[in-house]
């Protein structure tokens, strides 16, 4: 992606260390408390999250978006009418109602989303994506896809494996009920 002149792009600064600090911490951990592979795994996941969020935010910043706002816009584009109740947005994005309100209010302020009373729920509010919001989400998505959402170091099969490896964690956290794997010929 070409950045407009004067755009400040914030990506995580490479550590440029002559060793892997997580592997080093794992060795020191083993010496002090014994082998705990989950410590190295969570530290790797947290560092990967920092790296990915920094890269994705750098792509979204010129659009005035954060990843949370981008996800909300995408969710609205997936809905049949381009609108959803605020409660449904929070449920689908797996965030607290206060976070949904903050996210949607910022999208409203940017002209990307509109809010109105929900005619099916006297106390509820509907959020709907605007034409400007549709344009922004299409452009931002194109840019995110061009950089493979920060996962360009992995091929499609490896990305699928990452998804599969992390899925049981999400099931155990109660995000959703585990569905049995489809059986061949079933």
Note whether residue 51 is domain-resident. yes
What are the structure tokens assigned to 32, written together?
Answer: 């002090």
Residue 93: give its domain's CATH number.
1.10.10.10
What are the structure tokens assigned to 150, written together?
Answer: 């920060």
Note whether residue 71 is domain-resident. yes
Give the rounded distance of the alpha carbon of 71 from its chain centre. 7
HSE, CB side, 13 Å, CA atoms: give it for residue 176: 9
Q: Return d(Cα 170, Cα 178) in angstroms, integer.
A: 9
The predicted pLDDT at position 121 comes to 82
The predicted pLDDT at position 5 comes to 37
Q: Return d(Cα 81, Cα 113) in angstroms, integer.
A: 13
Note whether residue 44 is domain-resident. yes
What total of structural domains would you count in the chain?
1
The predicted pLDDT at position 123 comes to 83
Instruction: Divide the 186 residues of the chain into consecutive groups of 10 and give the mean pLDDT of each group.
Output: 40 79 94 95 95 95 96 96 94 91 96 94 91 98 97 96 95 85 56
Note whether residue 87 is domain-resident. yes
Intra-chain end-to-end CA distance of the chain, in Å: 44
36-72 residues labelled b (16+ CB within 10 A) or e (exposed): eeeebeebeeeeeeeeeeebbbbbbebbebbebbbbb
Question: 128 lies in which domain range?
Answer: 30-148
Note whether residue 112 is domain-resident. yes
């Amino acid at each position: 992606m070409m950045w407009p002149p004067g755009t400040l792009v914030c990506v995580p600064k490479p550590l440029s260390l002559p060793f892997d600090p997580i592997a080093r911490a794992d060795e020191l951990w083993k010496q002090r408390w014994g082998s705990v592979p989950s410590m190295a795994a969570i530290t790797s996941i947290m560092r990967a999250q920092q790296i990915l969020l920094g890269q994705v935010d750098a792509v979204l910043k010129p659009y005035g978006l954060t990843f949370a706002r981008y996800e909300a816009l995408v969710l609205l584009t997936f809905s049949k009418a381009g609108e959803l109740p605020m409660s449904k947005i929070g449920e689908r994005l797996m965030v607290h109602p206060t976070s949904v309100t903050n996210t949607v209010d910022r999208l409203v302020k940017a002209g990307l989303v509109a809010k109105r009373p929900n005619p099916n729920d006297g106390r509820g509010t509907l959020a709907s994506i605007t034409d400007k919001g549709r344009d922004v989400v299409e452009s931002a998505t194109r840019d995110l896809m061009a950089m493979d959402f920060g996962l360009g170091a992995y091929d499609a099969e490896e990305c699928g494996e990452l998804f599969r490896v992390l899925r049981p964690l999400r099931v155990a956290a109660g995000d959703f009920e585990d569905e049995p794997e489809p059986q061949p010929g079933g």
